[in-house]
Structure 1
Amino acid sequence: MRLYREVVELRCDESFKAWSHGLPYETVKWHFHPEYEIHLVTSTSGRTFVGDYVGRFAPGNLAFLGPNLPHNWVSDVAPGEIVAQRGLVVQFGDGFIRRAIESFPELRPATVLLDESLGGLEYDEAAAEAALPLMTALQTAQGIARLELFFGLMRVLATCGRRRRLSSVHYQPCARDYVHKALEHVLLHIDRDLAGNIRESQMAALAGYTQSSFSRAFRRQTGQSFVHYINEKRIARSCDLLLHTNGSIIEICFQVGFKNVSNFNRQFLLHRKITPSAWRRAHRLAEAQGLAQTRAA
């Protein structure tokens, strides 16, 4: 299977990412990322691929994967079948969790769990049942409530004795080897200058490729075309600005690198299935409701 690198986007007010997805979905393929991942299947059955492990999964399958460990869950569904929610996902970086452990001595036992996760861990039904309400609540939680739920989830993973390693003890993740250093340099350049005039020809030259070779290499490593990747990054950053600033749609459009509002609206609708203004209203309403519930509690 071709191996893809997933780019995990965090908002400026997030320490970790909590989300869900259905089927079909773009990251349901053989892929890796530098972040840890907690993955809970909520519907469908199929085959699990983690490192050199191949097995079966069903609803209630809970796994904890370390950085750069290739993985995929392939559901047994009919071609064209749509599943509203296949799984719940939490992703976080090594820097975040290591800083937390340094700050709070009570978290030090979690270092053992992090080390074990490098080979991929699968949990029993009891752990999955305990994790489900926490991961569900994380989808909409705000502020301190998110941290409370996250560390509650980590407690479940760390204290559950019935977990097993998935990949063999001899397996060593080598996913980083699949991404050429030149392409990593391009990805970092894009992050730093996302609002600028980023041209594929310039990035190809930066990486030392011809444009046609760069296009193939970029798609092979990210699973996306160069243009789709840039647009997705810009839309993700615009969501951050829509939620956490009072900038107008026009201002945000130019801040993230789009040259005209009509294209910004078109790309936002393509990537988020909703207009920017409707997205802002919906998320600010959800944020206000979550804050009111926290105050009431």
Structure 2
Amino acid sequence: MQQPDLELVQVRRNESFKVWAHGYPYKTVRWHFHPEYELHLVTATTGTFRVGDYVGAFEPGNLVMTGPNLPHNWVSNVAPDEVIPERCLVLQFTQEFIQGCLALFPELDFVAGLLDESTHGIGFPPATAALVTPILTELLHAIGARRIALFVTLLNILGQIRTRVPLASGEFQSEPMKYMSGAMNHVLGHIRRNFTAELHESELAKLSGLSPSAFSRTFRKHTGMTFVPYINLLRIDFACQLLVQGRKNVTEICYETGFNNVSNFNRQFLLLKQTTPSKFRNTHTMNAAMAASAA
């Protein structure tokens, strides 16, 4: 079985977990792993999915939970030029976050069993997916305390399902250290730790042991993107976290996230978020105020 690729998951500093949707094709649709727990709900297409050493068929309503560093992938049966606007909803959270929740709230003790089982992947019945779908959909846009309420509701539903089934075999063992020994995963780990610093593709090629041209091809194969847009994406996502915190101005955030000038920062932000940094912050502030007044 081929080595899985490392996926860099960015949970915003002002949020406890990440909820997002993506279509098909998409750059993360590949055999990959990450240290975060993941709840994955398919909303469109059919195809084949892999979790550890498990291989099965999926259709809309396929709901799976994976534990830290457990390799997984969903591949849809679609025409080569077909584009699906939304293929799945994804929730991701760190081990530190969920363990902190268990330490603070003994009422969540039931979640411990769910987390243990997720190390080999858990499949849930369609009826559970039907209950979870509106919660994940609302979580895409929820803010503030409403996000936490929905998250706990989600855990409560999943924890009470007795018909959940293990996916990977008991013999399968995740090997994150072995995965990270691969040249490209080693580079991606370095990028994750240093994406706000000055990075040069030629230097990363040396770190991987590949020639510059081979590195460029391999990097795109692993990430679905070329080097500069990938770095810009990580930096802009980090900028969004700093903007919603509201303590720093746009210029300060520009340089803290690794950009060398404000005009380029604004241009890349507009390209990726279809708005300016100032408008992004204002929209978030307005939405937060509306949510507080409605509470």
Q: TM-score range by the shorter chain?
A: 0.7 to 0.9
> Structure 2: how far apart are the matches of 1:33 and 1:89?
13
Higher mean C-alpha displacement, 83-92 vs 244-253: 244-253
Per-residue Cα deviation, 1:32-60 (whole angstroms, up to 9, x for no partner): 11111001111222222211222111111
Contact 2:27 2:223 in 1 (8 A): no
Alpha-carbon spacing, 1:2–1:283, altered in 2? closer, same or farther (3 Å): farther
| Structure 1 ranges of 4+ moved more than 6 A | 181-185
Instruction: Describe the SS at the equivalent of 2:119.
Output: helix
Deviation at 1:292, TM superposition (A): 2.6
Higher mean C-alpha displacement, 171-180 vs 124-133: 171-180
Give the TM-score, by structure 1 length.
Answer: 0.86
Alpha-carbon spacing, 1:251–1:278, altered in 2? closer, same or farther (3 Å): same
* 2:61 corresponding residue in structure 1: 60
Identity within the alignment, % = 46
- Amino acid paired to 1:174: E
> Structure 1: how far apart are the matches of 2:279 and 2:100?
37
Deviation at 1:202, TM superposition (A): 4.7
Deviation at 1:86, TM superposition (A): 1.4
Q: What pairs up with 1:7-156 in 2 under 5 angstroms?
A: 7-156=8-157
Contact 2:8 2:192 in 1 (8 A): no
* 1:262 corresponding residue in structure 2: 263
Contact 1:140 1:290 in 2 (8 A): no
> Structure 1: how far apart are the matches of 2:55 and 2:218?
27
Per-residue Cα deviation, 1:110-157 (whole angstroms, up to 9, x for no partner): 211111111111111221111112211211222222111111111111
- What root-mean-square deviation, in Å, do the aligned CA atoms of Structure 1 and Structure 2 show? 2.7
Unaligned runs of 5+ in 1: none
* 1:170 corresponding residue in structure 2: 171
Contact 1:253 1:264 in 2 (8 A): yes
> Structure 1: how far apart are the matches of 2:27 and 2:279?
24
> Structure 2: how far apart are the matches of 1:183 and 1:84?
29
> Structure 2: how far apart are the matches of 1:232 and 1:239?
11
> Structure 2: how far apart are the matches of 1:37 and 1:218?
24
* 1:252 corresponding residue in structure 2: 253
> Structure 2: how far apart are the matches of 1:239 and 1:288?
18
Aligned pair count reads 293
> Structure 2: how far apart are the matches of 1:188 and 1:56?
31
Per-residue Cα deviation, 1:165-199 (whole angstroms, up to 9, x for no partner): 11222222224412128877765665555443333
Deviation at 1:290, TM superposition (A): 2.4
Give the TM-score, by structure 2 length.
Answer: 0.87
Deviation at 1:220, TM superposition (A): 6.2
Instruction: Describe the SS at the equivalent of 2:73.
Output: strand
Contact 2:62 2:124 in 1 (8 A): yes
> Structure 2: how far apart are the matches of 1:284 and 1:76?
41
Deviation at 1:239, TM superposition (A): 0.8
